[in-house]
Structure 1
Amino acid sequence: MAEVLSQSQIDALLNSMMNSDAAEEPKEEKPEKNWKKYDFKSPKKFTKDKLKLLKGIYDNYGRLASSRLNGVLRTACEMEVLSVEEQRYFEFSNILSENDVMMMLNLKLPDESKNPPMMIHISQKLMVNMIDRMLGGTGDDDDVDSSYTYSEIESALYKKVMKYLLDITRDAWGNYIKINLGDQRLEENPGLFQEISLDEPVAIVLLNVKMQNIDGRITICIPGNLLMNIFNIIDKRKHVDGLYDEGIANSRELIMTRLNRSTMEIKAELAEAQLSMKEVCGLKVGDVIDLNKSRESDVVLYVEEQPWFRGKLGAHNKNAAVKIKQCIQEEAPADK
């Protein structure tokens, strides 16, 4: 006679079967996190915010450079920033081959500090096709590789193309800092460049340029010392600008102190005269030009090309001088 199971035995059997099914179900594997190794011996010098700021600057640079190349090469060029990273200088120098050349650009900062130059490299395929377009060619040679060697004529045109691109640097940084461009020179032996040590931190900006069916890269290497000085000047300016927004008691004095250091051009004008081209060409030493005005008449003082005062011409300590008599702004309502 078959054994009859009790209700408790049936429940236990069902529970064991359910547990065995759950155990057989494969567990979902969680994706492993990829951790980036950090080198504590050479810590990063620039924060993510600084690199993000640098990317924004060169996004603007890419738009300006694309517009400039469109006009110079008479073809559509697209430029975008691929990456902005902090690396060591040898990471940049190692990608250059023996046939590579690069441009060196010195930047003049407002603090007049001496800094190493910025380095710019353009891939041979892109540069050769740019030169071809400048000379009236089609600029679609896709067979150029890194083994290509520039001739003397191409080197001169290389400098010409780079000048178009480097002149935009001042405008790209203009929203953050006022910089002036210094010397520009072509370095034909990048491996011999020793103004920067191989372990010095640098910021490498990689831009991709697409011209018709040609793709190429522009690599900009900014030395760490130069970039630190730029960021320090930007941070100081932000700090000083913030003082005026906080409504501190001596904000007016701070503003006036900065304004008082500025210089303004002042010139005195007695009268004007108009001459024909024939009369100007006939002028010689000893000729007299009639101003149709009395020598006792008032002179007008111009401040930055704006008329501000009327005065009397005279002498002071044996030097020509003007004595201010009246403010032109004050007399304007009386003339109405």
Structure 2
Amino acid sequence: MADNVLSQAEVESLLNAMETGNEPSKPAAAASPDPHAGHHPRNREKITPYDFKRPERVGKDQMRALQSMHEGFSRNFGAALSALLRSIVEVKLTSVDQLTYSEFVFSLENPSCFNLLTAEPLEGNLILDINPSILYPIIDRLLGGGKESTPATRRPLTEIELTLVSRISDLFLVELKEAWENVLPLDLKVVRVESNPQLVQIVPPNEVVVLVSFELAIGDVRGMINLCIPFNSIERISHKLTANTWFSYGSTDATPQSKAAIGDHIDKAHVSLDVILADTTITMEELLDLRVGDVITTEKDSRTPLQVNVNGTPTFQAFAGAYKGRKAIQIERSYERKKSPPQK
């Protein structure tokens, strides 16, 4: 057996230990890996809590598609509602969230305007909820009310008010069908209107739904409109909710139906009409001396047509006359703009 020979460092260590009464220092061993070493709290990854009561069953791509699709819908619905109410209505998409059906129902006011919808070929039912804080001002506007704000009313809708609300919900469904056209043609109908949301059970309480919320603003009055889409209704067509579907929504070619719809809105628009009889120049002194009954002479020939402006733009040429004892004009042709000579 070979003799163990101590090194000079080990001998000195033993002598020092004997003098101090401590154990000899051991050679430094390789540092064992510390699972927490080098991990500063700032360097740790962020931990997101997961609630098993609210599983996210709709993918992020589908949620982005729903959000972009309903952003376009909100603009169109706002324009259509403004034409119906003859007042500026701002509609803004506020959120697209996933939650359980029970959370959605218990977050609503009672009473409310709770519309139960069918959207064939989607399975089940959808929910359209209109908040009373914006619903009653709309009804007041449809009945001829002014801009004065009315206090919030907490009561169920009457039969007359339900008939007026149907005009709003029908307009909502028309624009919603147009927004979903690139994903799936929907046949949307209102099958029932309830005032107490807790009496309507379209899916189990823990079933996941997609809640699309809009904020309406009419002057100083604001309120919410909520569209509730159960996940089981869109589960079969979730693969169609991609970026391509809503991107093509704004780039499709005009159809005869869309042109007719735009034409219907334009036909109901109010325009300013004025007729230029003649023009001349007079001095300020002559203007101050004018009295009732004075005649202003011009160089315009009575046999030449008059210029008719629509919203300040020369549009027609007409002749002045009378119709049933009232001053009138008879439009002859479209306004002919003089072509400027070609530049050399």
Q: How high is the TM-score relative to the length of structure 2? A: 0.54
User: How far does residue 232 in structure 1 lie from its aligned partner after superposition?
Assistant: 3.9
Q: Which moved more, 1:157-166 or 1:59-68?
A: 157-166
1:123 has 2:135 as partner:
no
CA–CA distance in 1 between the matches of 2:43 and 2:163? 54
5 Å-filtered alignment, 1:4-153, equals 36-40=48-52, 42-109=54-121, 115-144=123-152, 147-153=154-160
Equivalent residues of 1:142, 1:214 under 8 A apart: no
> What SS does the corresponding residue of 2:237 show, helix, strand or coil?
helix
Over 3 Å counting, the alpha-carbon distance change for 1:208 and 1:234 in structure 2 is closer
Partner of 1:165: 172
User: Matches of 1:34 and 1:138 in 2, distance apart?
Assistant: 53
Please state how far the C-alpha of 1:176 moved relative to its aligned partner.
Answer: 2.3
Give yes or no for contact 1:124–1:148 (8 Å, CA) kept in 2.
no
Distance 1:220 1:192 in 2: 17
Give 1:81's aligned amino acid.
Answer: L
Tell me which amino acid in the other structure corresponds to 2:187.
N
What is the Cα deviation at residue 33 of structure 1?
Answer: 9.1
* 2:222 aligned residue: 215
**What amino acid is the match of 1:121?**
D
**2:205 maps to 1:198:** yes
**Cα 1:135–1:142 shift into 2, 3 Å:** closer
Larger radius of gyration between Structure 1 and Structure 2: 2
Contact persistence 2:113–2:131 (CA under 8 A) = no
SS in 2 for 1:191: helix
In 1, are the aligned partners of 2:109 and 2:131 still within 8 Å (CA)? no
Question: What is the identity, as a one-letter code, of the residue corresponding to 1:122?
Answer: I
In structure 2, do the counterparts of structure 1 residues 213 and 74 end up closer, same or farther at CA, with 3 Å as the change threshold?
A: same
Distance 1:183 1:158 in 2: 11
SS in 2 for 1:229: coil
1:99-142 Cα offsets, whole Å, 9 max, x none, are 12311111112xxx6x1111011111211111111111125425
Q: How many residues align?
A: 204
Q: How far apart, in 2, do the equivalents of 1:122 and 1:32 lie?
A: 45
Conserved? CA contact 1:208–1:215, under 8 Å: yes
**Distance of 1:33 and 1:184 partners within structure 2:** 49
Whether the 8 Å CA contact 1:159–1:186 is kept in 2: the answer is no
Q: Distance in 2 between matches of 1:195 and 1:63?
A: 29
1:226 corresponds to which residue?
233
Structure 2 CA distance for partners of 1:135 and 1:184, relative to 1, 3 Å = same
User: Partners of 1:31 and 1:138 in 2: how far apart?
Assistant: 60
Distance in 2 between residues matched to 1:34 and 1:214, nearest whole Å: 41
CA contact (8 A) 1:59 1:81 kept: yes
Q: Summarize the alignment of residues 259-274 of structure 1 with structure 2, pairs less than 5 Å apart.
A: none
Confirm whether residue 176 of structure 1 aligns to residue 183 of structure 2. Answer: yes
- Amino acid in the other structure paired with 2:97: E
Q: Supply the distance in 2 between the matched residues of 1:177 and 1:216 (Cα, whole angstroms).
A: 29
Q: CA RMSD in A?
A: 2.7
Structure 1 CA distance, aligned partners of 2:192 and 2:174? Answer: 13
Structure 1 counterpart of 2:29: none
Runs (5+) with no aligned partner, structure 1: 1-28, 239-336
From the two aligned structures, give the one with the greater helix fraction.
1
In structure 1, C-alpha distance between the alignment counterparts of 2:43 and 2:216, rounded to whole Å: 35
Structure 1 residues 219-228 or 35-44, which shifts more? 35-44
For residues 226-245 of structure 1, the aligned pairs below 5 Å read 226-232=233-239
- Contact 1:125/1:216 (CA < 8 Å) preserved in 2? yes
Q: Distance in 1 between matches of 2:133 and 2:241?
A: 37
Aligned letter for 1:199?
N
Amino acid at match of 2:213: L
What are the Cα deviations for residues 73-109 of structure 1, in whole angstroms up to 9, with x where unaligned?
0000111111101100011100223312311111112
Q: What's the CA shift for 1:57?
A: 1.1
The alpha-carbon deviation at position 155 of structure 1 amounts to: 2.0
- Read off the aligned partner of 1:97 and give its amino acid letter: E
- Partners of 1:158 and 1:35 in 2: CA distance: 46
Residue number in structure 2 paired with 1:320: none
Measure how far apart 1:189 and its partner are.
Answer: 3.1
- Give me the whole-angstrom Cα distance separating, in 2, the residues matched to 1:87 and 1:102: 18
Separation in structure 2 between the aligned mates of residue 34 and residue 128 of structure 1, nearest angstrom: 46
Contact 2:112 2:194 in 1 (8 A): no
